[in-house]
Amino acid sequence: MNKFWENELIQIAAYYSVAVLCMLVFLTIFELVTKYKNWEEIKNGNMAVAMATGGKIFGIANIFRFSIEQHDDLLQMMGSGLYGFILLLLAYFIYEFMTPTFNIDEEIQKDNRAVGFISLVISVGLSFVIGAGI
């Protein structure tokens, strides 16, 4: 059975499957903490929500990329990915806290593309910082 798990194609499929499942869970958590429904807003053409959500997706995937590079074990990869996600989620709350003159979620829901774009850049940029630390 060890030869089965040592096969490179099996390992790629395992990392991919775990990363996709974690991404679905993490996006669900983001959906719960935002005041709007991501996929409903995207369906309605809200570009600010699409940019912010795209940044979150890129950020999560990038954290898992770093995690896969640094760990040979699926469990370690998942642990680092979870830790990275928690840091990314924390950044979301810090971003909201650092803008007391307006509410990030409300602006994104109103399709304020400038706020959506900054949200995207924060998620992507911090994913590189978080990933480098993993």
pLDDT digits (tens, 9 = 90+) for 67-124: 999 987 889 999 999 999 999 999 999 998 888 899 999 999 999 999 999 999 999 9
Distance of CA 48 to the CA centre of its chain: 16
Rounded CA separation 133/128 (Å) = 9
pLDDT digits (tens, 9 = 90+) for 35-77: 899 999 999 999 999 999 999 999 999 999 999 999 878 899 9
Provide mean pLDDT across the span 120-133. 96
pLDDT reported for residue 55:
97
Rounded CA separation 96/66 (Å) = 26
Tokens of 12: 């790629």
- Helices 47-70 + 8-33 axis angle, to 10: 140
- How much is the pTM? 0.89
